[in-house]
Chain A
Amino acid sequence: AQSVTQPDIHITVSEGASLELRCNYSYGATPYLFWYVQSPGQGLQLLLKYFSGDTLVQGIKGFEAEFKRSQSSFNLRKPSVHWSDAAEYFCAVGANAGNMLTFGGGTRLMVKP
C-alpha cells in the first residue's frame, strides 16, 4: 500500500521569501501525485497534479512541484510567498486506477509580515 510523509508539521516564512514544502511517498510504481491547500474553515483546493511526463508541474497561485523518482519526493515550491498563502498544505498519492488517494499529515504554513 502507498504512504505519504510530510516531514514538516509547521513552517514559518517571511512574506516575499521562497518556500519549499516537502513530500515523500512510498509506492512501487509511478504514482499519481497531488498537492492540495486548505484555508482556515474551508475544504481542500487542488493546487497541482502529476500523472506523467514533465517532472516539473505548474499549478495555480504561482506554485510548482517537482517529481523526483530517485528520491521518492514531490516537493512544492513557490518563489515568493504572499500573506494569503498561509494555510495547511496536503500532499496526496494515488496508485493504480481503482485505488484511493492517500494523504499526508499536512504542513501548516504561517507567513510573517
Chain B
Amino acid sequence: DVKVTQSSRYLVKRTGEKVFLECVQDMDHENMFWYRQDPGLGLRLIYFSYDVKMKEKGDIPEGYSVSREKKERFSLILESASTNQTSMYLCASSSGTGAPYSNQPQHFGDGTRLSIL
C-alpha cells in the first residue's frame, strides 16, 4: 500500500512565524500535491510538483511556497503565517510521468491541522 506521511498531526504557530509542513511518500511517485481543506469548501490545491525541483501553482498559492529537493519529499512553507492560514493541510501523491495526470488516483496523508494564533 502507498504510504504518505505528514510529519505533524497538529501544529500551533504564531502570526508571522515561518512554518514548514513536511510530507514523505514511499511509492516512488512522480507527482505530489498540497491541499488545504476548509469546511464547506472541500479541498483546494495550493501547489503541486511533477518532478524533483519542479513546482506549479494550484488554485490558491498566495502566501505559500514549496520545496521538492528529493523525489519522496514535498515541503509546504508558510513564509509569514497569518491567522487566515489556520486550516487542515493535506498532502497527496500519484504516479504518472511528466505533468500530473488527473486519471491517476491520488493517495493522501492523514493531514496536519495547523492553528495560527
Contact = CB atoms under 8 A, between A and B. Distances in A.
Interface string A49-63: 101000000000000
A50 to B, nearest CB: 10
29 contacts: A6-B42, A41-B9, A41-B110, A42-B111, A43-B4, A43-B90, A43-B110, A44-B43, A44-B92, A44-B108, A46-B105, A46-B107, A90-B42, A90-B43, A92-B43, A94-B103, A96-B102, A98-B100, A98-B101, A100-B33, A100-B45, A100-B58, A100-B59, A101-B45, A101-B106, A103-B44, A104-B42, A105-B40, A105-B42
Nearest to B4: A43
Nearest to B44: A103
Given A95-B102, A97-B99, A43 B111 contact: yes
A33 to B, nearest CB: 10
A98 B99 contact: yes
Contacts, number: 66
Contacts of B106: 44, 46, 101
Instruction: Place the interface of chain A in its size category.
Output: 20 to 34
Nearest to A45: B108
* Chain A binding surface SS class: loop
A42 B110 contact: yes
A28 to B, nearest CB: 15
B25 to A, nearest CB: 12
A101 B109 contact: no
A6 B39 CA distance: 13
Contacts of B48: 100
Interface in A78-108: 90, 92, 94-101, 103-106
Contact of B105 (A4, A34, A41, A99): A34
B40 to A, nearest CB: 5
Given A41-B110, A43-B108, A43-B109, A103 B42 contact: yes
